[in-house]
């Protein structure tokens, strides 16, 4: 396994759009995200095709692949942050030069559909990748990164500390149309913290993923090896209780839930529409017979703020009725 070097103030961060073309539709939001990165003390380099627009794609496959390859090759660029997710980053996988990526290890950060790139790069090269904030939704937030997200970004990538994933004091679900309505702070909701589904204690390497995107890789050479891992999953606001149930049941049928040491679920958006205790009931059913800790409503996924989850890094989780302790056992960067 290769753990990429940490960031120092003044480093250059590369930006690209490997999936959807939202940056092309919301240039003001992109500009605000770039300004936030600069305000935080970094230089910014935007890949040439970042603002490309081709239906639901940010340019052709070749254009998106070229941007990724160029940013990995660029010695000046110390980290790559994607603009946003989408539906089509997995189109790039058979065209990526994994040898090039392996020879140029650096921080690669994003979430949602970027899961396909995270898991494929980690599987093919052993490079730790990071599920966490993206340029448009988080760095482009009105007023800048939310404090909790900012603190975890610096703790992970600049200080290189082993994070303890304590809960945020509040979170945000309100939606404002980008470049039209997002000219104020969004409303915050008090965070009641994570919820226990099953108590227990576990150690293992983190596998962090958007569940629907991850399952696109089932049966391919890019699908993760699960044995002994702590699986951390999140999913989109457009999902439903039935689709989440279907994904989780598929993981059971594939034997994934029998192999992992623990299951950590990020906070779902209210738009998904879970009824009271419905998610816990689904999780209890799909993990029946497996003595693993299971928790929900942690600070990652499609709500804000969010912490950073490093693929391949060892972590430990202890869950009882009154307390959830989830933390890294290794440094997330070198």
Among 118, 152, 269, 302, the active-site one is 302
302 is catalytic: yes
112 is catalytic: yes
Among 17, 20, 112, 168, the active-site one is 112
DSSP letter for each residue of 2-29: B-PPPP-TT-EEEEE-SS--HHHH-HHH
- If DSSP codes are grouped into helix, strand and coil, which group holds residue 289? coil
63 is catalytic: no
What span, in angstroms and rounded, lies between the C-alpha atoms of 88 and 91?
6
- If DSSP codes are grouped into helix, strand and coil, which group holds residue 82? strand
What span, in angstroms and rounded, lies between the C-alpha atoms of 15 and 82?
6
For residues 102 and 121, is the Cβ–Cβ distance under 8 A?
no
Helix 241-253 vs helix 278-286: angle between axes, to the nearest 10 degrees?
10
Pairing of strands 309-310, 200-210: unpaired
What span, in angstroms and rounded, lies between the C-alpha atoms of 151 and 148?
5
Tokens 């989850």 map to which residue?
309
Return the beta strands (E) in the chain as ranges.
12-16, 43-46, 77-82, 107-110, 130-131, 170-172, 188-190, 195-198, 200-210, 229-234, 262-267, 294-301, 309-310, 314-319, 324-328
For residues 61 and 92, is the Cβ–Cβ distance under 8 A?
yes
Residue 332 is classified by DSSP as: S
Among 63, 141, 234, 239, the active-site one is 234
What span, in angstroms and rounded, lies between the C-alpha atoms of 285 and 250?
12
**Active-site residue set:** 112, 234, 302
């Amino acid at each position: 396994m290769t753990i990429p070097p940490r960031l120092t103030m003044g480093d250059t961060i590369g930006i690209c759009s490997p999936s959807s073309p939202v940056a092309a539709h919301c240039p003001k939001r992109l500009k605000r995200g770039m300004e936030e990165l600069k305000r935080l003390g970094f230089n910014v380099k935007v890949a040439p095709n970042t603002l490309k627009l081709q239906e639901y794609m940010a340019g052709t496959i070749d254009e998106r692949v070229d941007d990724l390859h160029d940013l990995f090759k660029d010695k000046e660029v110390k980290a790559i942050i994607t603009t946003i997710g989408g539906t089509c980053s997995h189109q790039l996988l058979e065209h990526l030069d994994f040898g090039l990526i392996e020879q140029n290890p650096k921080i690669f950060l994003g979430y949602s559909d970027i899961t396909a790139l995270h898991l494929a790069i980690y599987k093919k090269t052993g490079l730790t990748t990071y599920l966490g904030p993206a340029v448009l939704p988080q760095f482009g937030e009105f007023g800048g990164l939310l404090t909790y997200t900012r603190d975890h970004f610096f703790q992970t990538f600049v200080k290189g500390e082993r994070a303890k994933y304590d809960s945020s004091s509040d979170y945000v679900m309100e939606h404002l149309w980008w470049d039209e309505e997002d000219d104020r702070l969004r409303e915050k909701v008090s965070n009641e913290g994570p919820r226990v589904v099953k108590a227990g204690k576990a150690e293992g390497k983190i596998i962090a993923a958007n569940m629907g995107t991850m399952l696109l890789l089932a049966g391919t050479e890019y699908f993760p090896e699960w044995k002994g891992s702590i699986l951390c999953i999140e999913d989109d606001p457009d999902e439903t209780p039935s689709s989440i149930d279907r994904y989780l049941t598929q993981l059971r049928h594939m034997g994934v839930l029998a192999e992992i040491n623990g299951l950590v679920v990020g906070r779902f958006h209210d738009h998904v529409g879970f009824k009271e205790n419905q998610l816990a009931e689904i999780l209890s059913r799909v993990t029946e017979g497996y003595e693993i800790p299971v928790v929900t409503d942690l600070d990652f996924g499609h709500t804000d703020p969010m912490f950073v989850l490093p693929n391949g890094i060892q972590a430990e989780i202890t869950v009882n009725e009154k307390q959830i302790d989830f933390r890294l056992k290794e440094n997330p960067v070198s």
